[in-house]
Amino acid sequence: MNLSWGAAWALARRGLDWRFKGLRLLLVCLVLGTAALSAIGTLTGAIERELASRGREMLGADLEFTLAARAPAADERAAIAALGELSEGARMQAMAVKVGALRVGATNVVGASSPPPTPSSEEEGASGSAATPVELKAVDAKWPLYGTFRLADGTVARAPEGMTAWIAPGVADRLGVKVGDALKVGEATLTVGGVIGSEPDRLAEGFSLGPTVIIGKAALDASKLVQPGSMVRSKLRVKLPAAADPVTLGESIKERFPLAGYEVRTREKASPSLDRFVSRMGQFLVLVALAALAIAGIGIGNGVNSYLEARRNSIATLKILGASSGDIARIFLLQLAAASLLAIAAGLVIGVSVTPLLGQALQGLLPIKAGFVIDFGALAIAAAYGALIALTFAAPPLVRARSFPAMALMRARVSPLAGGWRGAVLPVALGLGGIVALAVLTAPQKLLAAGFLGGAAALFLLLSALGWGIQRLAARVPKPKGAIARMALANLHRPGAQTSALVVALGFGLSAFVLLAGVQTSLDGNIAQRVPNKAPDYFVLDLPLSRVSDFDAIVKAAAPGADIRKVPALRGSIVAYGPEGAMTRVADLKQLPENAWPLRGDRGLTYADELPQGNVLTAGQWWAKDNAGEPLVSVDDDLGKALNLKLGDRIAVSILGVERTAKIASFRRIDWENMGFNYVLVFSPNAIADAPHNLAATISLPQKEKTAQVRSAILGGLVKALPSSSVIEIGPVLGQAREILGQMGAAILAAASVAVLSGMAVLAGAIAAARERKTYDNVILRVLGASRRQLLVLLMAEYVLLGALLCALALALGSGVAWAIVVLLFEFDWLPDWPRILGVLGAGVGLVMVLAVGGSLGLLRTRPAQVLREL
């Protein structure tokens, strides 16, 4: 009969050193892993909660309706106004031009931390007609319905009156304007009334191509920017009565006006794209930290093994005194569980404590400040991961220890415990199954999570195989001449050597470093080097059809070699798709099919007589010029697959509140990389050309014309002649993209560095485990006349050998996977920044070497006689 759990605990407690001597490696590894997981989970949870709780303020309403390219019809407006208190406004891209007195060189009027002026605006500033693209936000007297708008000087304000404008610090910076100066937007001349301090609904406005200028309805009308076909987004925001349900009311308006094309947002989901970004980024970081925890698991396994090895005599004695295998398992399981619980609790406390610091570090990337919060859900998940990892990695040595007969334990002093792995299959399978289930079930993107886990498992197996291979190879290569080199090599493969575990533990983290640095620097390289060569120099939006010849003339006069492309630009949303007579209504879908992102909200639509440049037909045929038959559409191949569309099926879109249906004539593969205008849906002209619309254009300058004078002439000419059009220079936009990429890279690298830290904990454990053996070797060599320098060379040789192997492994594995991600997955060029990658790897390996050599230096000071007496 087995000991009761109570009796087992009494024995366990007696054998447990409350300073946890022998279990410190387990503690460190578990604390590291659970701290990382709980910090990431808490931070993500805090942001998600913040997004949810501040939804009303972020949205500036309980319910928001957005319309593309038109103002609401009278009946629509009346229906929405009946729901509650209505605030109406508009958003659009525009150009702000500085007028009046010149302030040459006045660049940093407000906000020292704002980005520097773009080259064009600086040049234009010197010539007296500074211009910059801005996000124009027209609001009415009721704005903001929720939250408080403040100017930079702390004044609480509402909508600007008359021709006054509130400008973002970026506008002040780029144009060199201050309060009281004049600005021209469209045909309206505005006075800067103040600089924006805090804009409560900024987050929910989403990404914009320029800083904000807030104006009133009168100023918008005076600008004459809103014309039929212009890319304006009308916003109708409603403050609902307390008991009203925004979701139901939003649905009721959509049902009542099914063709109006309203995009509805509620306070619960004020910024779906931000929610998605935070949730996915959080999930990805959790997976990276989980991989780090798995590395820590190796340390846990080694720690438990060393702990049980050191208690071999106690186990044998207990068995001789009549303890059964089950009793041994219970006693040590309880000891390990107590240590694990303590470690997990400490990890959770540390995780929660560092969350505000993490939020601070990621401030640029995260739109919201995350304060000190306790997210019990995230902590429970982190604790569960910790417990499952501890179970998975501690089970094998525990099972081995319990299944050994007493005398075998006594005899096995010189060789590590072996055999008995079969009993560990069940707990290990349970632990691994639990980890996979937890990771997949809690992931918003289950497939991605499963894929990541699969990839990480494959990497683990590969590293294990490589570690085993290296150990075998070290045993087989011809022995070098010289005692020191021979011993260094022997230490890699001698019985009990930790080479294999170290290759996995350190190789994973270092490979992740190389992989992340490779992917990040390659993407950055593509944006910095290749994209500007492929991308046009300017995007021009809202070019009126009637002013095309003026546009061409201005550009050609400034840059005769410029390549100008123009496409009709309409906005609309897909409302239905599928076979004729059996079309699926998008409004009826509970969840969008995977990869069917074009169904979300309104998007750009165009028409053409010819297949767009860079597109390749994958099925069907392009329509004849001037097709007068049934309206036709060509669909992006990926969308076709996502929606299971066939040639001859129909797609219905809502443009300016009118539903138009076209027959699918072809599928196209789009070259998204060309950075020009790419459209998921391209219609035959007879399908949509009659809807009011403007054109969008790109201007690509030949190398010799990429000069300040040419840019100045193009921008100045277009802004003057076409005040309603927006001219966006691509350079600053790419700068923004690189900045975001850099911050995301830093966040992922920070999560991955937990893997390296875990690897180092494993290394520290390996050093501790090898201390006795190394002391012995050193003392014997000392007796035989080895100098301290010779012992140091031996120590360095062993770790340099290991470090060199890890470097080669991390470089080969990390850059191989990075190459696959960049070239095969993203279809970008492989443009790694090798000095940076080697720098990151060097820093990682350097840390490992410092720890390895530093942790072993004490061995050189051992005095032979003292140790020999103890041996």
Asked if 710 contacts 717 with a C-beta cutoff of 8 angstroms, the reply is: no
Query: Among the candidate windows 130-138, 281-289, 488-496, 671-679, which touches other proteins by CB under 8 A?
Result: 488-496
Among 112, 243, 414, 628, binds other proteins (CB under 8 A): 414
Q: Is 483 in the site for other proteins (CB under 8 A)?
A: yes
CA distance linking residue 6 with residue 28, whole number of Å: 28
> Taking a C-beta distance cutoff of 8 angstroms, is the pair 169, 111 a contact?
yes
289 Cα distance to chain centroid: 14
CA distance to 128, 358, 650, per residue, from 366 (Å): 37, 10, 41
Query: Could you tell me which stretch among 16-24, 430-438, 725-733, 861-869 binds other proteins (CB under 8 A)?
Result: 861-869
Instruction: Tell whether residue 796 is a contact of other proteins (CB under 8 A).
Output: no
CB of 25 closer than 8 Å to CB of 764: yes
Write down the least CB distance from residue 492 to other proteins, Å: 10
Which one of 256, 486, 556, 669 is in contact with other proteins (CB under 8 A)?
A: 486
The residue among 171 and 484 lying less far from other proteins, judged by its C-beta, is 484
Closest distance of CB 860 from other proteins, Å: 9
- Measured distance CA(37)–CA(102) in Å, rounded: 55
Residue 490 within binding range of other proteins, rule CB under 8 A: yes
Q: Which is nearer to other proteins, 24 or 782 (CB)?
A: 782
Q: Residue 353 interacts with other proteins (CB under 8 A)?
A: no
Q: By C-beta, is 178 or 493 nearer to other proteins? A: 493
| Least distance from other proteins to the Cβ atom of residue 767, Å | 17
Integer angstrom CA distances of residue 819 from 424, 437, 748, 812, 824 = 38, 30, 18, 10, 8
Only segment of 178-186, 344-352, 824-832, 863-871 that touches other proteins (CB under 8 A): 863-871
Stretch that binds other proteins, among 327-335, 347-355, 482-490, 657-665 (CB under 8 A): 482-490
What is the rounded CA–CA span in Å between residue 72 and residue 64? Answer: 13
Residue 587 interacting with other proteins (CB under 8 A): no
Does residue 413 interact with other proteins by CB under 8 A? no
Tokens of 664: 């699918």
Helix (H, G, I), strand (E, B) or coil at 439: helix
Looking at the Cβ atoms of 496 and 560, the one nearer to other proteins is 496
Cβ atoms of 226 and 242 closer than 8 Å: no
- Write the CB contacts of 151 (distance below 8 Å, at least 6 apart in sequence): 157, 166, 194, 195, 196, 197
Query: Cβ 416 to other proteins, closest distance in Å?
Result: 13
Binding segment for other proteins among 87-95, 172-180, 509-517, 859-867 (CB under 8 A)?
859-867
Residue 316 in contact with residue 389, Cβ under 8 Å? no
Task: Give dist(CA 770, CA 793) in Å, integer.
Answer: 17
Q: Kindly compute the dihedral angle of the four CA atoms of residues 331, 305, 856, 30, in this order, to the nearest 10 degrees.
A: -70
- By beta-carbon proximity to other proteins, the closer residue of 490 and 853 is 490
Q: Does 480 bind other proteins (CB under 8 A)?
A: no
Residues near other proteins (CB under 8 A), total: 30
Q: Which stretch binds other proteins (CB under 8 A): 346-354, 433-441, 584-592, 785-793?
A: 785-793
Choice from 563, 787, 812, 857 touching other proteins (CB under 8 A): 787
Please, what is the minimum distance in Å from the beta carbon of residue 523 to other proteins?
47
Q: Determine which residue in the list 141, 357, 426, 783 makes contact with other proteins, applying CB under 8 A.
A: 783
Window contacting other proteins (CB under 8 A); options: 341-349, 366-374, 475-483, 638-646: 475-483
- For the window 591-630, what string marks contact with other proteins as x by the rule CB under 8 A? ----------------------------------------
Q: How many residues does the chain have?
A: 871
Looking at the Cβ atoms of 151 and 485, the one nearer to other proteins is 485
Position 782 contacts other proteins (CB under 8 A): yes
| Residue 544 structure tokens | 């009126």
Region class of 261: left (phi > 0), else alpha (psi between -120 and 50), else beta = left
| Contact region with other proteins (CB under 8 A), list: 197-205, 396-404, 486-494, 723-731 | 486-494
Question: Which of 844, 797, 754, 812 has its CA nearest to residue 291?
Answer: 754
End-to-end, the C-alpha distance of the chain in Å comes to: 40
Give the one residue of 413, 422, 476, 479 binding other proteins; rule: CB under 8 A: 479
Interacting stretch for other proteins, rule CB under 8 A, among 296-304, 741-749, 778-786, 841-849? 778-786
- The residue from 546, 789, 824, 870 that contacts other proteins (CB under 8 A) is 789
The answer to whether 786 contacts other proteins (rule: CB under 8 A) is: yes
Q: Which residues pair with 151 in a beta bridge?
A: 196
The verdict on 780 binding other proteins (CB under 8 A) reads yes
Q: Rounded to 5 degrees, what are φ and ψ at 278?
A: -65, -45
Closest CA to 674 of 650, 698, 651: 698
Spatial distance between the Cα atoms of 693 and 542, rounded to a whole number of angstroms:
8
* 869 scored as a contact of other proteins (CB under 8 A): yes
Of 92-100, 142-150, 622-630, 857-865, the segment contacting other proteins by CB under 8 A is 857-865
Residue 315 identity: I
Longest dimension (CA), the chain: 103
Question: Of the listed pieces 127-135, 189-197, 677-685, 782-790, which binds other proteins according to CB under 8 A?
Answer: 782-790
Number of Cβ within 10 Å of residue 345's Cβ equals: 16
- Please tell me whether residue 777 binds other proteins under the rule CB under 8 A: yes
CB of 792 to other proteins, least distance (A): 11
* Residue with Cβ nearer other proteins (616 or 868): 868
Exposed/middle/buried for 457, CB within 10 Å: 0-12, 13-18, 19+?
middle
Judged by CB under 8 A, the chain residues 493 through 512 that form the site for other proteins are 494
Work out how close the CB of 871 gets to other proteins at its nearest, in angstroms, rounded to a whole number.
6
**Binder to other proteins among 197, 593, 735, 864 (CB under 8 A)?**
864
Q: How far is the CB of 779 from other proteins (least distance, A)?
A: 8
**What's the rounded Cα separation, in Å, for the pair 466 and 64?**
57
Q: How far is CA 807 from CA 248, 457, 513, 799, 838, in A?
A: 59, 21, 11, 12, 9
Q: Residue 417 Cβ, how far from other proteins at the closest point, in Å?
A: 17
| Contact of 301 with 500, CB cutoff 8 Å | no
Answer yes or no whether residue 482 interacts with other proteins by CB under 8 A.
Answer: yes
Other Cβ atoms closer than 10 A to 445? 16
Closest contact distance (angstroms) between CB of 799 and other proteins is 16
Burial (CB count within 10 angstroms: exposed 0-12, middle 13-18, buried 19+), residue 191: middle
Cα–Cα distance between 180 and 194 in angstroms, integer?
8
Contact 103, 71 (CB under 8 A): no
| Smallest separation (angstroms) from other proteins to the CB of 796 | 17
Q: Kindly tell me which residue out of 105, 241, 419, 785 binds other proteins, with binding defined by CB under 8 A.
A: 785
Q: Which of 445, 584, 686, 790 touches other proteins by CB under 8 A? A: 790
Q: Does 857 bind other proteins (CB under 8 A)?
A: no
Contact 558, 714 (CB under 8 A): yes
Q: How near is the Cβ of 342 to other proteins at its closest, in Å?
A: 37
Options 223-231, 304-312, 402-410, 773-781: segment touching other proteins (CB under 8 A):
773-781
Question: Residue written as tokens 């309805």?
Answer: 217
Whole-number Å distance between alpha carbons of 602 and 262: 9
> Which range touches other proteins (CB under 8 A), out of 149-157, 244-252, 370-378, 862-870?
862-870
Looking at residue 265, the DSSP 8-state letter turns out to be E
Q: What residues line the site for other proteins (CB under 8 A)?
A: 414, 479, 482-483, 486-487, 490-491, 494, 776-777, 779-790, 863-866, 868-869, 871
